[in-house]
A and B are shown apart, each in its own frame.
Chain A
């Protein structure tokens, strides 16, 4: 089982809709969770991080974490065509021999159509 699993998509939503991106992870020792956005031909850029159960909101973005279910999600409200990108879920371990290492999912490709 891969460390971090994401639906590869593509996910296609109309402009103004809510886009929901999901991610599961296998290691219960994981402590920190990150969402990166990557435009085609560019490097990943950090959107949000979360490390406590519940929701964390930042503008149109909401990250949700459920450690019991080993599940983290990203909601994008009022989706815009400029949100079209690949979204990478990443999980970080903060203990043991793999201290500080980030494990990435394969990414979900999102298309927002006008």
Chain B
């Protein structure tokens, strides 16, 4: 089934540790995104990539990094996790062209930093 796969589903991480959240899509979408979702704050964009080889910062990029080596994969790395990064992380993808191209979301990764 075509879509976006995120891994892991959930993770408990000690503060200061490094962690990479994985995201893979098989829809050949140009654009990919990482959001975090926190109660009362909604979905906030962390980083995005409009095409393989390029990335950009979203609303809340500090403490996170991304790479886009190919079309399918868009990993998100926390270099040194802090408790404020406890959140649910969603990876998404879309075609940029076309006004009606929506975001497709993965199932999310629930991260707890202790």
Contact = CB atoms under 8 A, between A and B. Distances in A.
Interface of A: 8, 31-32, 34, 42-46, 49, 51, 88, 90, 92, 94, 99-107
Nearest to B50: A100
Contacts of A105: 42
Nearest to B38: A106
Contact of A99 (B43, B96, B102, B106): B96
Interface residues of B, number: 25
A90 B100 contact: no
B46 interface: no
Nearest to B35: A104
Nearest to A90: B103
A43 B94 contact: no
Given A43-B90, A101-B48, A92 B99 contact: yes
